[in-house]
Structure 1
Amino acid sequence: MNEERAERVRQAVRASYAARASGHAEGCCGEGGDGGGCCGHGAGHEAAAGQAAASSCCGSGGCGGAEDHQAGGCCCGGAASHAEQVGYSLVEISSVPEGAEMSFGCGNPAALAGLQPGETVLDLGSGGGLDCLLAAHRVGPTGRVIGVDMTPEMIDRARGNARQGNYANVEFRLGEIEHLPVADATVDAIISNCVINLSPDKPSVLREAFRVLKPGGRLLVSDIVSMAPLSEEARSDEGLWCECLSGAEEVGALERMLRDAGFVDVLITPQDESREFVRSWAPGASVVDLVVSAIVEAWKP
């Protein structure tokens, strides 16, 4: 991807998530509500735009804000069901301030990363702060959690959620995950939830992740991967890219990127059961049949 096209993707993603954070997406949950309006799945692409925009609500903070829904219907009552579907427990969701759960992404990386008291954790693309706040519970008062997001509106929202819950061990920094505002070798664990696929420059993301990890540190993320090559038409669809679909890398390609960045013990585990909720992100778009959620693990020697 050339730099001009990559910049268009970045701007589209930034604008999409700024609108979601601000509650500007039209939806049945109410502007400024828990989900900030509808999640806007389908906004911007041609094939499924109308149907997807009508059928996706609650969880506007990112991909995976809603489970399967009926076109034109409201899914507000289904948010808890979707949370459980991707791996969150109701106990976890009830433990964070209302409004932090803007979306549930495609997994629960904080629960899978084996976080320990006293560790420093970095969340790539922290959105409304849900995974950071859950990680904060796991690392305790002697630990530290840093969330990085490129959208000022998301940073503001996440900071508000942290203040509301009196989280003293969490901070949110404005920045791009391709250029992390984090010092070298200062992080024990990196988590991320359905965000790396949004980057048009994934090798830079992974090199930066490697840089900030301490020796022996680990990366454990939930993300979307493709199980077959995506068409150039799909790759060039910025709307589908914003829905965490068109930016998905094939498993083998992502493994190579991780190893090229310096990681070892790379393991990518596709979650076939995720097909059901992924299809709901852009009903009618052919790309949804080619992608699934995956758990991505890698270590810094």
Structure 2
Amino acid sequence: LFIKKIWTNFFLADVGKPPLNPKIATLIMQDWVFHYKPKIIDIETIRFEFGEFDYTSAIVGTVNISASPDPFVPLLSVCEDFKIHVNWGECSDCRTRLTGTYSSKIQIRSPKKLETSQLEEWGNEIEKLSASYPLSDGKSPLFKIIHIKNGIDALFQSKAPANSIGRIFSKNHGGIVSVTTEFAGFDKSKWKEYPRKVVVLISMPEFDPDDFVLFHDKTIQIVQYKDAKVEYWDFDRKIKEKMPVKSFIEAKPQMIKGVIEQFQIINFEQKETVAQIMNIDSFDTLYIDTKT
């Protein structure tokens, strides 16, 4: 009837009942070579295999396939076992969805690639903040931290901590917070959605402390981010200023590339002034090279 081949390419399926989370696609038949055009394909049994963190690692079952060489020949049927290995993608969302056990997450995203040390520093800070929001059993709500190239994903087993921790972290680092919900699937048998997951996205600032920035046609230097404000040094006025991070970003500041040298220019009108500043008794005793 057909020649069975080794399965190579599979698509994640939403067949039968949960726990596949979230709904992705429909079952795609394995790679078989048919000698006759299949007429009927019926899935007889379905069960799920689970891996680490209780995520679905495979779908196994049996399928009835009926085929015939032409309309005038009775159908021939065969029952075959099948197994679909669920291979999750490498993107951040795929890697967090595969756990299926988190209720909320904090996504910290930087506009640039970060060093591992920076990611670990952020992760440690999130971990420390999480200790202040224990679950009913006293354990930390933080479930897992995932590193990606330009940020981290922190997964939580309850919804409230992610929102609170995300806003505290954002205030300390000059980030902009946006809160959304993530669709978590649909149970067709009950015509009911699974609980949605809270997503707290923190967009980190483009500029780091000590960066020189062109802001409203003048040069400033970033000092620090604190309490949802950016503190910077105004070279024109020679003072430190503060303003809300959101207002600062809306002004569309631009990075100044290269090295900026700082000079202090002093104008002296009398030679006595120079003598006083240089702490000498008389200006006449000092030799000055006018060429330098």
Output the TM-score relative to the length of structure 2: 0.28
Higher relative contact order (CA 8 A, sep 6+): 1
Q: Name the larger-Rg structure.
A: 2
Higher helix share: 1
Output the TM-score relative to the length of structure 1: 0.27
